[in-house]
Structure 1
Amino acid sequence: MSRDELSNRSNDSGGLELKQIVFIGRTFEEYMKMFNLTVDEINGRSILDCPGGACSFSSQARKLGANPMAVDMAYEYKIDELELKGFQDIEHTMKQMEPVQSIYVWDQFGSIQGLKEERTRAITDCVADMKMFPDRYVASVLPDLPFADEQFDLTLSAHFLFTYADRLDVDFHIATIMELLRVSKREVRIFPTVDLSGERYKHMDELKLILEELGYTVSEEPTAYEFQRNAHTMLQIVKHNRTR
């Protein structure tokens, strides 16, 4: 989900229009760093990417023996429409980044051109996988998910919760996290733990206390990934009713 989608949530009575969606995603390699994952850790596991956007995690994880599923409200649109919109969005976003390069860490991408190449690779892989496995890309609007209890071994959620803390209230965060936990057997990982200004989510301690009182183990874990400054930590929530 994008900023444009969020800004239209309260005004939306008949579904979002495609022009309100920004369809851009991260690469598999970014996901592995963001969530402290190894290939051995994903092999043979069912993994939910929520929201999946135009990310290539599912595409590459599937090739490495995982059983991934992606969910996003954008998937209600036709794949060809999303592909076209995604490439347009990459061009537009790169132009917007020119004057604000200093608020990002360029160690991984090197330059805006390097970032563009990675975002292009992500959507290219994603679209190819969507065409091959359309039933593995499910349209849904959080905080509701159309999946069974504990359907997935692991759930990953990138650049949505906490990121848009100025538009998503505490109740929405709690409801969404509880839904992510409902469909997960073992754990949920959320990246990053800061908002768009780079500040730690202001209700994090309150949220952690609620989850700990419910019996979950909750920790903020440093990661090897940082593009937005200060966005280098994930929230890991582990359930204890199952063994790995």
Structure 2
Amino acid sequence: MSQVEKTVGLDLSRIVFIGRTWEEYLLMFNLSKEDLMGRKVLDCPSGACSFTANANKNGIDTMATDIAYYHDVDDLEKKGFQDIEHTMQSMEKSAGNYIWNFFSDIGELKRMRTQALTECVSDMKEFGASRYLPAVLPQLPFTDKQFDVTLSAHFLFTYTDRLDYDFHIQTMNELFRVTGEEVRIFPTVDMEGKKYEYMDTLIEWVSGQGWTAEEIQVPYEFQKNANTMLKLTIK
């Protein structure tokens, strides 16, 4: 990556610092606390999610990585609250694109997004780089097979309008490098709820890397059609 690309990528105004809660993660990835006990977990990219904070509180050795972590935590906190306000205003116009089962209304959604941000920032201030490492995908600052499980939410298939197939391959190859057991990616659709058009080709590539791929329906759907994850397991 060139210095110009890195500078643009690290521009705080271009980063949306919003996250999901611990409870959402367990549902998005079809996991229980017991499934993760005794395993080392990576959240990548993690943004303002509170999963890492709560996982560690529950005795699960977890790390988070994101491009946003190159920025000062106080700046991220301020940006996060601004992003929540902006997102909630947009939600008023697009509420029909979502399924209001997990969240009863926009007010509860705002409360949960604020909770995630607050818990994440608090943990970042206390533990810093021991849990929250900056990185620019498709490169990660971890050793081979450092983690048993890697969780990746709302990134790869979500932004297919900006991330091409080659980037998907490079990123997944890197996730495979740092992961010893399984990688879970949620969701399998883009921002419009459309399934990733190269999914079959990607799954064929995954098999050639010594991993199995399975698309699994999960007990969580907020964005319409975003209710499946890709579970990748080493053979």
Q: TM range, normalised to the smaller chain?
A: over 0.9
Which residue in the other structure is 1:177 paired with? 172
Quick one: distance in 2 between partners of 1:209 and 1:185? 20
Q: Which amino acid aligns with 2:196?
A: Y
Which residue in the other structure is 2:18 paired with? 24
Q: Which amino acid aligns with 1:58?
A: T
CA offsets 1:48-85 (integer angstroms, 9 cap, x no match): 00001000000110011111100000000111110011
Q: Which amino acid aligns with 1:142?
A: L
Quick one: distance in 2 between partners of 1:74 and 1:214? 30
Which blocks of at least 5 consecutive residues in structure 2 are unaligned?
none
Quick one: distance in 1 between partners of 2:191 and 2:6? 27
Map 1:1-244 to 2 at 5 A.
Answer: 12=5, 14-15=7-8, 16-135=10-129, 136-240=131-235
Q: Which amino acid aligns with 2:136?
A: V
Q: Counterpart of 1:231 in 2: which secondary structure?
A: coil
Aligned pairs, how many? Answer: 232
CA offsets 1:189-215 (integer angstroms, 9 cap, x no match): 000000111011000000001111222
CA offsets 1:115-162 (integer angstroms, 9 cap, x no match): 000000000110111111102101110000010000001000000001
TM (normalized to structure 2)? 0.96
Quick one: distance in 1 between partners of 2:112 and 2:163? 28
Q: Counterpart of 1:133 in 2: which secondary structure?
A: helix
Task: Return the offset for 1:10.
Answer: 11
Q: Which amino acid aligns with 1:54?
A: A
Task: Return the offset for 1:13.
Answer: 5.4
Q: Counterpart of 1:187 in 2: which secondary structure?
A: strand
Quick one: distance in 2 between partners of 1:161 and 1:83? 24
Report if aligned partners of 1:42, 1:65 keep a CA contact under 8 Å in 2: no
Task: Say what the alpha-carbon RMSD is for the aligned residues.
Answer: 1.4
Task: Return the offset for 1:12.
Answer: 3.4
Q: Counterpart of 2:113 in 1: which secondary structure?
A: helix
Quick one: distance in 2 between partners of 1:109 and 1:10? 41
Q: Which amino acid aligns with 2:54?
A: Q
Q: Counterpart of 2:7 in 1: which secondary structure?
A: coil
Report if aligned partners of 1:24, 1:54 keep a CA contact under 8 Å in 2: yes
CA offsets 1:196-243 (integer angstroms, 9 cap, x no match): 110110000000011112221100001001010000000000012xxx
The runs of 4+ residues in structure 1 deviating greater than 4 Å are none
